[in-house]
């Protein structure tokens, strides 16, 4: 539980955090028997590795347009806020932050997803994986 709390603090810096942590969050449920399956060990190792590697995040410049990448799959939603900035005299696209979350059971039964927001200067790129 303390590992999940610690790593969740850095979720905006870890790509696909919600999807990786899903199996670990399941063992926090009172009705679930605590068992470290290979899936959970792999999830723990991937999160631990991501926490110890230097993140490549850009500092957002609010005068430059953003690109919002949205990844949808059966386990979660992942958004990444990108910008193209000039680094070492070359245009470089990179993430400013990640916005991961798991899909709730009621959302999993919906046929589509709807996002609302006050989007200004955004390009939205949707990466959808067919739900099975």
Residue 58 lies in a domain: no
Residue 15 lies in a domain: yes
Mean pLDDT over the full length of the chain? 76
71 and 123 share a domain? yes
81 and 120 share a domain? yes
114 and 77 share a domain? yes
Q: Which pLDDT score is estimated for 122?
A: 58
121 and 70 share a domain? yes
Q: Which pLDDT score is estimated for 110?
A: 61
Q: Which residues contact 97 (CB under 8 A, 6 or more apart)?
A: 12, 13, 57, 60, 80, 81
Q: Which pLDDT score is estimated for 22?
A: 84
CA atoms of 81 and 98, how far apart (whole Å):
6
Q: Which pLDDT score is estimated for 1?
A: 63
The CATH number of residue 89's host domain is 3.10.20
Cβ atoms 43, 23 nearer than 8 A = yes
39 and 81 share a domain? no
Q: How many domains does the chain have?
A: 2
Q: Which pLDDT score is estimated for 131?
A: 43
27 and 78 share a domain? no
- The predicted model gives 115-120 an average pLDDT of 45
- The predicted model gives 110-118 an average pLDDT of 48
Q: Which pLDDT score is estimated for 119?
A: 44
Structural domain harbouring 35: 2-52
37 and 86 share a domain? no
Residue 39 lies in a domain: yes
- The predicted model gives 49-71 an average pLDDT of 81
User: Which comes out higher in pLDDT, residue 122 or 33?
Assistant: 33
Residue 80 lies in a domain: yes
Residue 119 host element (H or E): none
Given a cut of 80, is residue 73 above it in pLDDT? no
Given a cut of 70, is residue 128 above it in pLDDT? no
């Amino acid at each position: 539980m303390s590992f999940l709390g610690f790593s969740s603090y850095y979720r905006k810096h870890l790509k696909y955090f919600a999807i990786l942590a899903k199996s670990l969050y399941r063992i926090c449920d009172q009705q679930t028997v605590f068992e470290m399956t290979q899936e959970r060990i792999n999830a723990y190792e991937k999160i631990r590795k991501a926490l110890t590697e230097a993140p490549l995040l850009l500092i957002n410049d609010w005068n430059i347009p953003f690109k919002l990448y949205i990844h949808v799959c059966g386990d979660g939603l992942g958004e990444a806020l990108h910008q193209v900035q000039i680094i070492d005299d070359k245009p470089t696209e990179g993430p400013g932050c990640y916005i991961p979350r798991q899909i709730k059971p009621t959302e999993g039964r919906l046929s589509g997803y709807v996002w609302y927001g006050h989007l200004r200067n955004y390009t939205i790129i949707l990466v959808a994986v067919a739900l099975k």
